[in-house]
Each structure stands twice: as C-alpha cells, then as structure tokens.
Structure 1
Amino acid sequence: MKLAILDRDGTLNLADEAFITTPEAWVAQPGALEAVARLNRAGWHVVVATNQPGLGGGQLDTTELNAVHAKMHRELAAAGARIEAVFYCPHRPEEGCACRKPAPGLLVQIGERYGAEPDETWVIGSCAVHLQAGAQWGAHLHLVCTGAATGLLPGQPLPPDFPSGVAVHASLSDLVDQLVPAEPLPQPLSQGTAH
C-alpha cells in the first residue's frame, strides 16, 4: 500500500487567508495536478484531508463545498490525475473535535478506510497543523514550500511549530520527483528501411 494524504489549501491549490467558498476561487498550484497524476501512475492512492471550519461557521454549506471539490476533480481529471476521496472536518476550532487537524482523527479515518498503517502513509502539506496530525499518527511527514510555507526553503531549519522528522521539498512536483522513479521519455518511432 502506498498512500499519500495531501492537505488541500496551499498544497493542491493557491490559498490566501479567506475561505474558499466558490469554485472560481479554487486555483491549482502550478505543477500540483501533474504531480498527483504521476503518483497515480506509480500506483499511489491519493486522498485529501482538509479542515473546513467555514462549514461550522456558516461561511459556506456542503453544496458549495461539493461544488469547489467538483471543480478540483475536473481539473485533476483533465491533467490525468485522480484524488480518490476528500475527508474534511467541518468543525470550528473551539468545538474541540477529534477530527480537526492537528488532531489525527481524519488521518486515522483514512487509514482505516484504506487499511493502511501509518508507516505506509506519506502525509504531505504546506502547513504545520497537517504535519502535526501526521506526526501524532506516526506517518512519514513531508512539507512542500508552497501556500503557508512559502518563504521556507529545503535545508533551512523549520519554525518550532513543525514536528521533528519533516522532510522539506520546494514543491509537490519536487517531492514526487523523489518518490516516483523518472518516467521514460517516449521513444521516436523507428523508421523502416525501404527495399
């Protein structure tokens, strides 16, 4: 089993401080969809785990969230990529649920659904809380320096809110370059010789 659990905002799509409440606001990170396609072709199961407190706070409803994810799935499909499932926590921070990252509840649910152990799972994201959840569950931790991590660089020390043992990559594409063997370039068709 090869399972990658990606954060959504900042990892797959551009993110700002506001909630993404419309499909138009969901804009893919450069190269991210192609990186997911490469994982798919290499046999990885790819899912998303995302905090969506806008649901609990009334900034969006499930119909609007589903419309955002429908756009995400369409754009992934156009790139030859597939996210198998989206797991989300709808709660606000003050609700104290077990599924809101940095709690590991969403990741545990994903592991149970896929029959995956933490040591078979790569938790990949651009924010500390996603990786904190992965650390509590015991997964492999990978930071991509996009979204909230823009400005961090591979090889530099991470801020103290990041757990130990995090591998740092410039982007999701750079991470996939390390996880997935290079795909062979298409060979030109050989020209037959005329007799």
Structure 2
Amino acid sequence: MNRAMFLDRDGVINEVLSDRVKFVNVPENFYLLDGVGEAIKLFNDKGFKVFVVTNQGGIGLGFMMESALHIVHNKMEEDLAAFGARIDDIAYCPHKPHAKCACRKPKPQMIIDLAEKHDIDLAKSYMVGDREPDIEAGKEAGTTTILVGDRKESKVEADKIFPDLLAVAKWIVKK
C-alpha cells in the first residue's frame, strides 16, 4: 500500500482571501503560496502520492463553471511542474455549502475514495489543511492531521501544526 499527502487547496497550495485575490474562480487568480512547489517536490521524492481534496462550493453557488475549475487545476499543475512537482489526483466537491452531500469536507468521502482508487494506507498518510473542516475530514478518514497557516479558530486539534506546507515537507523528510 502507498502513503499519501492529502492537501486542501485554497490556503494550503494557493492564496485565497489575500490582498490580491479573494476567491480563485479563474486561472488568473491562482497564485502558489511560497514554498509550495518545493514542498510537493519533496513529498514526491519521498515516495508519497500527492492528492488535492478541495471544497469548491462556488460551482454549486453559480460563481464558476466546473469547466473553469478544471482550467484552474491545469494552471496549478503547470505551476507545480516548474518545480518538478506533481499532483497524482484531484478530488473536489462542487456542491453548495450546507448541501449535506457525502463529499464535502468535513466529511471524509473524497479522502476515502482517493485512498481506495490509489491503494493508500490511510494510517500512514497525512491530511494537510488550513481550516477545521480539513482536520475533521482527515481525522474521520484515519490520517494524521496537520494544520498550516495562521488561522487559530479551529476547535478541532490537529496532530501537528506548522506555519506552511514547506515546513511540513521539511519535517516529513526528516522522519
């Protein structure tokens, strides 16, 4: 079985709610956070499968089309390729917030589906997020959870806390 890094997208991989971008509904608003390319390359080199698991309620709310999301994800993959980094698969929930669907984080279905599809040992894998729903989903799926960023409102305790994804990668490499 494989090990994996399950990564939330907005706030972990790319900017969101920043001075230059509020939401990422078009590729022009997609900006990698500092160190993300290097971090994902380190995960790749360490033998982890790398997955993105992201709630994209803007689709259900009508702020973006699903085809536009695919274009944004293509830009993400191109930006990461410049660092020699790759994403193995992407799962997203297109439903409105509060839709009570099975796939929207904090429910773990996206993680579980990717794990089944790619033969992942969840007990040896990690979920990295910047918000409480990410950590809840990771815990429910049976992964080690890592909170990144400076949001302190989480009521759910992550297993580890780091300032950013590159700090996570440097810690993983030393293990």
**CA displacement, residues 13-56 of structure 1 (integer Å, 9 cap, x when unaligned):** 01118431110101000001111011111111101000001111
Instruction: Give 1:127's match in structure 2, choosing from 125, 128, 131.
Output: 131
Instruction: Give 2:23's match in structure 1, choosing from 1, 19, 24.
Output: 19
Q: Report if aligned partners of 1:7, 1:124 keep a CA contact under 8 Å in 2.
A: yes
| Residue in 2 that maps onto 1:64 | 68
Determine the C-alpha separation between the residues in 1 that align with 2:98 and 2:171.
38
> Unpaired segments of 5 or more residues in structure 2?
none
Instruction: Give 1:161's match in structure 2, choosing from 138, 155, 159.
Output: 155
1:176 matched to 2:164: no
**CA displacement, residues 107-148 of structure 1 (integer Å, 9 cap, x when unaligned):** 111111112232021001111111110111121001112xxx
| Residue in 2 that maps onto 1:102 | 106
**113 and 78 in structure 1: CA distance in 2 versus 1, 3 angstrom threshold:** same
The DSSP-based 3-state class of the residue aligned with 1:60 is: coil
| Residue in 1 that maps onto 2:10 | 9
Determine the C-alpha separation between the residues in 2 that align with 1:121 and 1:181.
16
1:112 matched to 2:116: yes
| Residue in 2 that maps onto 1:93 | 97
Aligned residue pair count? 171
- Identical columns (%): 32
Aligned AA (1:13): N
Q: Report if aligned partners of 2:5, 2:48 keep a CA contact under 8 Å in 1.
A: yes
| Residue in 2 that maps onto 1:192 | none
Bigger Rg, structure 1 or 2: 1
Q: TM-score, normalised by structure 1?
A: 0.83
1:28 matched to 2:32: yes
Q: TM-score, normalised by structure 2?
A: 0.92
| Residue in 2 that maps onto 1:187 | none
Note the C-alpha offset of 1:166.
Answer: 2.2
Determine the C-alpha separation between the residues in 2 that align with 1:123 and 1:85.
14
1:81 matched to 2:82: no
Determine the C-alpha separation between the residues in 1 that align with 2:87 and 2:136.
22
1:39 matched to 2:46: no
Aligned AA (1:2): R
> Unpaired segments of 5 or more residues in structure 1?
153-158, 183-195
**82 and 93 in structure 1: CA distance in 2 versus 1, 3 angstrom threshold:** same
Note the C-alpha offset of 1:106.
Answer: 0.8
Note the C-alpha offset of 1:91.
Answer: 0.6
Note the C-alpha offset of 1:175.
Answer: 1.0
Note the C-alpha offset of 1:181.
Answer: 3.7
The DSSP-based 3-state class of the residue aligned with 1:143 is: strand
Determine the C-alpha separation between the residues in 2 that align with 1:25 and 1:96.
28
Determine the C-alpha separation between the residues in 2 that align with 1:46 and 1:172.
13
